[in-house]
Amino acid sequence: MFSTVLSRVLSALMKYMRSYIIFPEVGDLATVKGDFYALGHIPNIIGAIDGTHVALVPPKESEQVYRNRKSYDSMNVQVVCLADQYISHVNAKFPGSVHDAYVMRNSSIPYVMKQLQRHRVWLIGDSGYPNLSWLLTPVRNPRTRAEERYNEAHGRTRRIIERTFGVLKARFRCLHMTGGSLMYSPKKVCHIIVACCMLHNLALRRQVPFLQEDGPDGGVVAAVEPVESEEEEDDGDDTDNRDTVIQQYFQ
């Protein structure tokens, strides 16, 4: 009975996804950039991007596909958030074994950001992503004080996505490991994740208070797993914009 009701609720919510998860429009870019600049003093940022894992019980026939680097089964959920923790994009269709950079490349984000390039705006992401013309990542092995200052500012700015995941998973414990693994089909798990993101945004817009006590031990749950990557920057990385930002703002 509950499963039937859940399916109907999810189906109804999915029809309104584009009304509750909205990427910044051109007219909103100045405000969004200003909010991000206040976090770490990096200019022209309009979103922080990262992935997190939501545990599930996978189909028997494809169990290994869902096994992530932490050796449990999950969906890899890519999120872009604003400086106020509003979720402006969510992609929840890839299994846990898929790397964050692959999820990003196979989402609508590259297309959307390329459409906004004439406005000279960027997303900010961790070292699990390539540095692109529209995506700023940290400098691996910084060699100058300017690069160190940039990395420090990058960390202060990117921390908002960790906070967003923490609040999201504290509000909706079914998304956190402490809530156990979701025992539904991968498709329904994806719908549950998106529905929680929609309700998270609605709670922000309606100013529903988030209580620290909602998290385990009276705090916000830890939700972001560090990227374990030994890859060095390669020729595919576009570091020109990042170098320009470092030279102009962090010398």
| The pLDDT of residue 1 | 66
pLDDT band at 183 (very low <50, low <70, confident <90, very high): very high
| The pLDDT of residue 166 | 94
Euclidean distance between CA atoms 188 and 65, whole angstroms: 17
Is the pLDDT assigned to residue 2 strictly greater than 80? no
Is the pLDDT assigned to residue 21 strictly greater than 60? yes
Over residues 47-90, the pLDDT tens digits come to 999 999 999 999 998 889 999 999 999 999 999 999 999 999 99
| The pLDDT of residue 7 | 87
SS3 for the chain, per residue? Answer: CHHHHHHHHHHHHHCCHHHHCCCCCHHHHHHHHHHHHHHHCCCCEEEEEEEEEEEECCCHHHHHHHECCCCCEEEEEEEEECCCCCEEEEEEEEECCCCHHHHHHCCCHHHHHHHCHHHCCEEECCCCCCCECCEECCCCCCCCHHHHHHHHHHHHHHHHHHHHHHHHHHHCHHHCHHHCCECCCHHHHHHHHHHHHHHHHHHHHCCCCCCHHHCHHHCCCCCCCCCCCCCCCCCCCCCHHHHHHHHHHCC
Euclidean distance between CA atoms 196 and 218, whole angstroms: 21
Single pTM value for the model:
0.89
pLDDT band at 35 (very low <50, low <70, confident <90, very high): very high
| The pLDDT of residue 234 | 45
DSSP-derived pairing of the beta strands 135-136 and 122-124: parallel
Euclidean distance between CA atoms 211 and 201, whole angstroms: 16
Is the pLDDT assigned to residue 43 strictly greater than 90? yes
pLDDT band at 6 (very low <50, low <70, confident <90, very high): confident
| The pLDDT of residue 59 | 93
Over residues 206-250, the pLDDT tens digits come to 998 877 655 544 444 444 444 344 344 444 577 888 999 999 999
Over residues 127-167, the pLDDT tens digits come to 999 999 999 999 999 999 999 999 999 999 999 999 999 99
